[in-house]
Amino acid sequence: MNDTDKIRQDFPILQKVIYGKYPLVYLDNAATTQKPRQVVEAMTEEYYNVNANVHRGVHFLSQKATELHEASRETVRRFLNARSTSEIVFTRGTTESINLVASCFGQAFMKEGDEVILSEMEHHSNIVSWQLLQARQGIRLRIVPITDDGRLRMDEYEKLFNERTRIVSITHISNVLGTVNPIEDIIRIAHEHGVPVLIDGAQSTPHTHIDVQKLDCDFFAFSGHKIYGPTGIGVLYGKEQWLDRIPPYMGGGEMIKTVSFERTTFNELPYKFEAGTPDYVASTGLARALDYVSSVGFDCIEAHERDLTAYALQRMSEIEGMNIFGPKDIKEHAAVISFLVSLPLREGRGGSIHHLDMGTLLDRLGIAIRTGHHCAEPLMRRLGIEGTCRASFALYNTHQDIDALVAGIKRVSQMF
């Protein structure tokens, strides 16, 4: 039994038979990953034996739940190599983390005419949150263009900086193209202009080791459910120097020291940004998920997924009419492949198999992929398409999964 076979045993859902006929081939990991039994069992154990609200109670269960919750924060700190747990804010996911920064940083440091730099490949959560600020405060969005093969135009990025630039907010890895952005250069250039950087790490955190001190990013966001953890919890890392200076995102319990009708004093970091009862069971699940990937090791994960991606690119290129979007160099391409399959020209008509048709028919063969615009409509317009099919890989995927995908695409293509 190889290492991948052992890993797959930790994910019972991978044994599922779809429509009573086909073994599950799960290739929708960029949307959400499956959960190992270690994560589910840790959460079940807490609900059954340690369930109580955290930080407020003097009784035994509350103290134990608090210890678990704060131990989870330390696990996240260690995982990201943050300087302090004060820099680790629990949120509901990457989307809330980005909205928190856009709202709070914008309130504190941006006024009408100030600018934020984004890119053409951003997820909607890293566009709409800044557009809301634009509507409230009149800021401007400046957009880094991409090349035809889906790489950032770094020469144009440098030209966007001026005296009104206040922050850069950019994705580490594209959820559509699989492009691995030169994030170290992006941060370095921004800092040369005295501008802080927020990194959307939703698609990078499950696939590569993240060291926020080495990156020197000012903010970093990721979601638990994309790294084998539960839904509804995520993380915002922020340097203390910034978190100290920006106002809270929401008001309520937990984020205060004192309240009167005349004045409220806010709590210390990171609790200033964690209003209300946290999902203290999900934080345990997230910690177990981070422990799980750490035990596998990112050297092994990266090597395995690089092999899968290279194999998939090679096998898929054998399919007639295959059009793959994104960088062709495997060094710049993470474990996400977006594609469309062109139809042969018949009677003057051509085009591609609609992504929804491809995804629906592959599903009938037990193959789970993603279809649509992937919450990246501006990128789709840049590519001149409505949407794509997307296959995305994880540490439990195999060459056999890719072979099944290729066979499925060929079978579907023959129907048109």
Residues 6+ apart with CB under 8 A from 186: 152, 154, 157, 168, 170, 197
Give 3-state DSSP helix, strand, coil % of the chain, rounded to 5: 45, 20, 40
Task: Report the distance separating Cα 92 and Cα 133, nearest Å.
Answer: 20
Task: Report the distance separating Cα 97 and Cα 84, nearest Å.
Answer: 18
Indicate if 375 belongs to the active site: yes
In angstroms, the Cα distances linking 275 to 174, 239, 333 are 31, 19, 38
- Positive or negative: CA dihedral 88, 92, 97, 99: negative
Residue for token pair 């069992």 = 41
Q: What is the DSSP string of 356-396?
A: HHHHHHHHTTTEE-EEE-TT-HHHHHHHT-S-EEEEE--TT
What is residue 410's three-state secondary structure?
helix
If we measure between CA atoms, which residue out of 402, 374, 396, 217 comes closest to residue 292? 396
If we measure between CA atoms, which residue out of 134, 239, 118 comes closest to residue 186? 118
* Catalytic member of 104, 217, 300, 375: 375
Residue for token pair 């609790």 = 271
Residues 6+ apart with CB under 8 A from 386: 355, 373, 380
CA 101 and chain centroid, separation:
16
Cα–Cα–Cα angle for 230, 233, 234, rounded to 5 degrees: 115
Residues 6+ apart with CB under 8 A from 399: 308, 311
- DSSP 8-state assignment for residue 165: E
Residues 6+ apart with CB under 8 A from 374: 30, 123, 175, 176, 338, 387, 388, 390
Residues 6+ apart with CB under 8 A from 206: 29, 33, 226, 227, 228, 293, 394
- Please list the active-site residues: 375
